[in-house]
Amino acid sequence: MKVAAQADFFIKHYGVEHALKKLKATGYEYITYEISGRYDEPFTTQWTDWDIKEQFSPIGVCATNENLNLAYTTLKSCIYHDLLPETSEARKQMCIQAVKATACMGCPVFAIRPAAMFYKRPDIYEVTKKISWDIFESVKQTADRVGVQLAFVNNNCCYAYGSRIDDLIELSEHFDGKIVIDPMNAYEAHENEMELAKQAGDRLLAFCVTDLEGDEGNPFHFTGKQRTIMPMMGALNYPLIIDRMKAVNQEAIVSVIYNDVLERYVDFVDSEPLMDAFDKLFYKTGCLIADTLDER
């Protein structure tokens, strides 16, 4: 299996060339990129196609120069977690802008998580499904136009649409997309991450490396970044995950998620040796999960 680094934290702090050289030197051949634009920020409300091209094309060019493959992009911001109609169109536009950015980077896939909702209502499944499909239909049109494939990330709310494999397969079949499994989301949604990954079959694009505290199983207990910790040190059963990785699509990418952990150390980002140390630790973790440790 291949191993990908989440590149945007390093790009933001060290510049694209330095960051990608660093990741290449670590041993990565693949990168992912989390687009930070929000629905209420200029990225969504003001940026023209030219602005997007100017911002994101250099990342693709530099990745090509460094022989790094762009695996997929994601959006930092949730597509929907409130019921405010006035934000619905803006969130749709945010996703469309992200698809354009993905294309400008020369990245083949944009991964998106279905709408989540962190308070309970009887029709939560139907509501989140409707919101998700509405947005995905629009996003798909742009994606087709710019040559980007969609991928769907498992949801982290057990009552919402998209946390179960049937939903993800439905989405991937309808939108001719791929599936990304984040084990932290699966834990929060009371799903078995390895069953999700296995049942995704050859539609599985990536399996993320994340971990979280063990007391966050309540789907309405959304605590943001506080839940994430160093991979393999939290509630997820990584020995079991590693054991069962052999049963999933071996073409899939092991996607090491840096941001939530490294943002805890943003006060110390000037210490490049510290960031390099994290980088090497994450890479080794990714390689272990990809079962390619010995080969490297």
Q: How far apart are CA 213 and CA 187, in angstroms?
A: 10
Q: Does residue 243 touch another protein according to CB under 8 A?
A: no
- The 3 state secondary structure assigned to 94-115 is HHHHHHHHHHHCCCCEEEECCC
Give me the least distance between CB of 227 and another protein, in Å please: 10
Q: Does residue 239 touch another protein according to CB under 8 A?
A: yes
Give me the least distance between CB of 291 and another protein, in Å please: 13
Closer CB to another protein, residue 174 or residue 280?
Answer: 280
Q: Does residue 83 touch another protein according to CB under 8 A?
A: no
Q: Does residue 65 touch another protein according to CB under 8 A?
A: no
**Alpha-carbon 242 to chain mean position:** 20
Q: Does residue 240 touch another protein according to CB under 8 A?
A: no
Q: How far apart are CA 22 and CA 24, in angstroms?
A: 5
SS3 111: strand
Give me the least distance between CB of 282 and another protein, in Å please: 9
SS3 163: coil
Q: Side chain identity at 239, as an amino acid letter?
A: P
Give me the least distance between CB of 234 and another protein, in Å please: 8
201-210: buried (b, 16+ CB within 10 Å) or exposed (e) per residue?
Answer: eebbbbbbbb
Closer CB to another protein, residue 83 or residue 266?
Answer: 266
Q: Does residue 86 touch another protein according to CB under 8 A?
A: no
**Residues in binding contact with another protein, number by CB under 8 A:** 26
Q: How far apart are CA 153 and CA 146, in angstroms?
A: 21
Q: Does residue 119 touch another protein according to CB under 8 A?
A: no
Closer CB to another protein, residue 25 or residue 274?
Answer: 274
Q: Does residue 271 touch another protein according to CB under 8 A?
A: yes
Closer CB to another protein, residue 122 or residue 273?
Answer: 273
Q: How many CB atoms lie within 10 A of CB 151?
A: 27
Q: How many CB atoms lie within 10 A of CB 143?
A: 25
Strands 109-112 and 253-256: unpaired
| Residue of 60, 59, 66, 69 whose CA lies nearest to 22 | 66
Closer CB to another protein, residue 201 or residue 217?
Answer: 217
Give me the least distance between CB of 147 and another protein, in Å please: 39
Binding mask 199-228 for another protein (x = CB under 8 A): --------------x------------x--
Q: How far apart are CA 60 and CA 56, in angstroms?
A: 7
Q: Does residue 13 touch another protein according to CB under 8 A?
A: no
Phi/psi at 114 (5° precision): -60, 165
Q: Which of 233, 240, 250, 251 binds another protein (CB under 8 A)?
A: 233
Q: Does residue 273 touch another protein according to CB under 8 A?
A: yes
Rg of the chain over CA atoms, in angstroms?
18
Closer CB to another protein, residue 166 or residue 270?
Answer: 270
**Alpha-carbon 215 to chain mean position:** 23
Q: How far apart are CA 249 and CA 28, in angstroms?
A: 20
Give me the least distance between CB of 250 and another protein, in Å please: 21
Binding site for another protein (CB under 8 A): 213, 226, 229-230, 232-234, 238-239, 264-265, 267-268, 270-271, 273-274, 276-278, 280-281, 284-285, 288, 293
